[in-house]
Amino acid sequence: MIHNITITGLKYELTDTTKKYVEKKIGALDKYLPRHARKSASADVKIKQLDNPGGNKYEVEVVINVPDKVITAKDSTMNVLAAVDIVEAKLNGQLRKYKQATVPHIGLRGRLGKFKRSYDREP
């Protein structure tokens, strides 16, 4: 779990269910982080309510600070929890790329490494 999560509501009253849901979803993203980054990772979540004539819209922005990089994702929908789900999916991909770029892969030399590299290129 990412332990340093700050949740802020702008023009939005935070409820306990929303806080627990955000902590559960964003906190579980640590499994996509490299081990050296898990302890120092912190997340800032901002939930903003936008008043539109057709109805309210909610914008969720998450900023995750990891060593040597800041990862952000932002989305807006008609439902707060749906926006959190979409942002979590966006962060999932970005964190996977971060982990792949920072962790040195073992075994990329020799016959097995050639096989792995050729397998990664195929769609």
C-alpha gyration radius of the chain: 18
Residue 30: the pLDDT is 92
Expressed in angstroms, the distance from the first to the final Cα of the chain is 32
Residue 8: the pLDDT is 97
Residue 16: the pLDDT is 96
Residue 105: the pLDDT is 65
The packing angle between helices 80-102 and 16-27, to 10°, is: 20
Tell me what the pLDDT averaged over the chain comes to. Answer: 88
The count of structural domains within the chain is 1
Whether 97 has a pLDDT exceeding 70, the answer reads yes
Please indicate whether residue 52 or residue 92 has the higher confidence score (pLDDT): 92
Its pTM stands at: 0.81
If we measure between CA atoms, which residue out of 20, 7, 32, 16 comes closest to residue 90? 32
Residue % of the chain over a pLDDT of 90: 65
Residue 116: the pLDDT is 62
Residue 107: the pLDDT is 46
Range of the domain at 106: 4-121
53's tokens: 């004539």
What are 32-91's pLDDT values in tens digits? 998 889 999 999 999 999 988 888 899 999 999 999 899 999 999 999 999 999 999 999
Q: Which CATH number do you get for residue 12? A: 3.30.160.100
